[in-house]
Amino acid sequence: MTVGIYIRVSTDEQVQEGYSISAQRERLKAFCVAQGWSDFKFYVDEGISGRSTKRPQFQKLMNDIESELIDVLLVYRLDRLTRSVRDLHNILDFLDSHKCTFRSATEIYDTATAMGRMFITIVAAIAEWESANLGERVRMGQIEKARQGKWAAQPPYGFNKDENHQLHIDEYEIKGVKLMVQKVREGLSFRQLSIYMGSTEYKPKRGYKWHIRTLLDLMHNPVLYGAMRWKDDLYEGTHEGIMSKKEFDQLQKIITSRQNYKKREISSTFIYQMKIVCPDCGNRCTSERTTWKRKTDKVTEVRNNYRCQVCALNKPNEAAFRVREIALTDALLNYMQAVSVAAPTAPIKVENDDPSIEIKKEIKRIESQREKYQRAWASDLITDEEFKSRMDDSRLRYSELQSQLEQTDTPVKSENDLIALKKTAHQFKDNFPELNDEEKRAFVQMFIESIQIDVVERPKGKGFRNQRIEISDVKLY
């Protein structure tokens, strides 16, 4: 009999009340020993609420139960499993359908009888009420904190907070904030401001560069004039600011007046939206439109283009990759015309030097190693710190291998697959040019996952003159 022991802790209060991971583990292990269960496995979710079932280890436990690897689901208390009556009934039905028994170490439930199910439902309803009531008290406490001028979250840039959660000016960072305000008043856009601040000595509290959204949030924050916003309420005079309310309102008018409210008279259909992979950085290109009026008859011309926004933001001094939609269509047709698929006489076999084989072996080895770590931790052969350190190290390597596997693990095509591909290629060459833009977009979005591009010749200047591209690969869904 295999026992799946589920442990969850979400708040510091539970740790103080004795519901910590270590405390639950010791009590549940002792319970298993008393019951004569020697084969047990731990599933631990730390810092996650029980209001939802979207918990990594809980989902892993459910998958193991579905695979019939677990015979008994054991928890310390019912509220460790869930705080939702609806989720409880779904879990119990799931356990029944896979012949898995539910047990609680501190409570006695007999889910086989109507009386037992009624009793467990009442307990779950109380746990759900307790959770909702706690949430209401926390919200009321946060509102009262804001009314008293106490800052509950991380202080904004330019400020710090004392042990009483009161905001105070940070003498060094506030110079950077004043510089931002000055540059906005001088006419810098927020894109220009992000580039300018990146060249100064002032660095953001999180991350390595200033983002437009970060700067906008800071310039819109009433903390600059000594006020605090919580939800829809504004509490003024909570701390010392760097400007008056009148100056802050004036700053907001300056920012608002520079926003571009264009009424779009032209709409475009972007055929390859989010399908083009940037050849320089590997990210997806975004869509953009160019419009102009012809000098002869004043007719408005529209051209769709695709540009790598990541390169444009991270490399402001270099020209980001851009390509015209019409050039993409020509290149795609050339690529499909060049597709030559010969049906093999025998099914294609996987070669021995397939790198995915070794990667899968390494992934299995790490999974086995992590299982041993869990058993050693459950048997007190390693400390909690050693267990966490080893699991973190193996998790990093496991993630790297999963990423490598996704890049190398391509499906092997059978003879029928290759014949179907050849037929699709011929149909594409014959029919795609005859479709309108909406039909082309529908086809591309439905069947094409990504388009890889090789730049044969870079354009000269800012436009597309002399640019030559080729499509190197088209991945289908």
Structure tokens at 94: 């799931």
Query: Is the predicted pLDDT of residue 166 greater than 60, yes or no?
Result: yes
Instruction: For residue 290, give the nearest of 300, 299, 280, 282 by alpha carbon.
Output: 300
> Do 65 and 203 sit in the same domain of this protein?
no
pLDDT at 11: 61
Residues 92 and 166 in one domain: no
In this predicted model, which residue has the larger pLDDT, 278 or 358?
278
Q: What is the pLDDT of residue 346?
A: 47
The CA-based angle 402-405-411, given to 5 degrees, is 140
State the average pLDDT over residues 106-130. Answer: 74
pLDDT score of 447: 81
Mean pLDDT of 429-434: 80
**Does 460 share its domain with 313?**
yes
Q: pLDDT by residue (tens digit) across 210-261? A: 999 999 999 999 999 988 887 777 888 888 899 999 999 999 998 888 776 5
In this prediction the pTM is 0.42
Whether 305 and 437 share a structural domain: yes
Q: What is the mean pLDDT of residues 270-283?
A: 91
Q: Is residue 181 domain-shared with residue 299, that is, in the same domain?
A: no
pLDDT at 195 over 80: yes
Handedness of CA 25, 29, 35, 39 (dihedral sign): positive
pLDDT at 170 > cutoff 60: yes
Give the pLDDT of residue 402: 79
- 97 part of the active site: no
| Least confident residue range of 28-42, 64-78, 103-117 | 103-117
Q: How confident is the model at residue 354 (pLDDT cuts 50, 70, 90)?
A: low
pLDDT at res. 137 = 75
Q: Are 131 and 42 in the same domain?
A: yes
- Identify whether the C-beta of residue 56 lies closer than 8 Å to the C-beta of residue 44: no
Tell whether 281 is covered by a domain: yes
Whether pLDDT at 18 is above 70: no
Burial class for 453, CB neighbours closer than 10 Å (0-12, 13-18, 19+): buried
Please, how many CA atoms are within 13 Å of residue 224, restricted to the half-sphere of its CB? Answer: 24
The answer to whether residue 115 scores a pLDDT higher than 60 is: yes
Name the average pLDDT for the chain: 81
Residues 46 and 120 in one domain: yes
Once rounded to an integer, what is the mean pLDDT over residues 84-96? 86
| Overall number of domains in the chain | 4
- Judge if 172 and 250 occupy the same domain: yes
Give the pLDDT score at 264: 59
Query: What pLDDT is attached to residue 141?
Result: 74
User: Among residues of the chain, what percentage have pLDDT more than 90?
Assistant: 22
Domain identity same for 83 and 229 = no
Same domain? For 396 and 426 the reply is: no
Answer whether residue 346 is part of any domain. Answer: no
Tell me 308's DSSP state: -
Residue 154 lies in a domain: no
Domain boundary among 373, 402, 431: 402
Rounded to whole angstroms, how far apart are CA atoms 96 and 117?
Answer: 13
pLDDT value at position 176?
Answer: 93
**289 lies in the same domain as 317:** yes
pLDDT value, residue 414: 55
Q: What is the mean pLDDT of residues 341-367?
A: 65
The 10s digit of each residue's pLDDT in 322-353 is 999 999 999 998 888 776 555 444 444 444 55
At residue 136, the pLDDT reads 76
Query: Does 51 reside within a domain?
Result: yes
Domain of 388, in residue numbers? 360-402
Q: Report the distance separating Cα 101 and Cα 79, nearest Å.
A: 17
Q: Is the pLDDT of residue 62 over 90?
A: yes
Q: What is the pLDDT of residue 435?
A: 86
Q: Is the dihedral angle over the CA atoms 347, 351, 356, 358 positive or is it negative?
A: positive
The pLDDT value recorded for residue 453 is 92
Q: Which residues of 30-44 are buried (b: 16+ CB within 10 A; e: fewer)?
A: ebbeeeebeebbbbb
Catalytic residue among 10, 84, 104, 194: 10
**Bigger pLDDT: 388 vs 104:** 104
Above 70 in pLDDT, residue 205? yes
Q: What is the CATH number of the domain that holds 73?
A: 3.40.50.1390
Judge if 80 and 120 occupy the same domain.
Answer: yes
* Angle between helical axes of 212-220 and 245-257 (0-180°, round to 10): 140
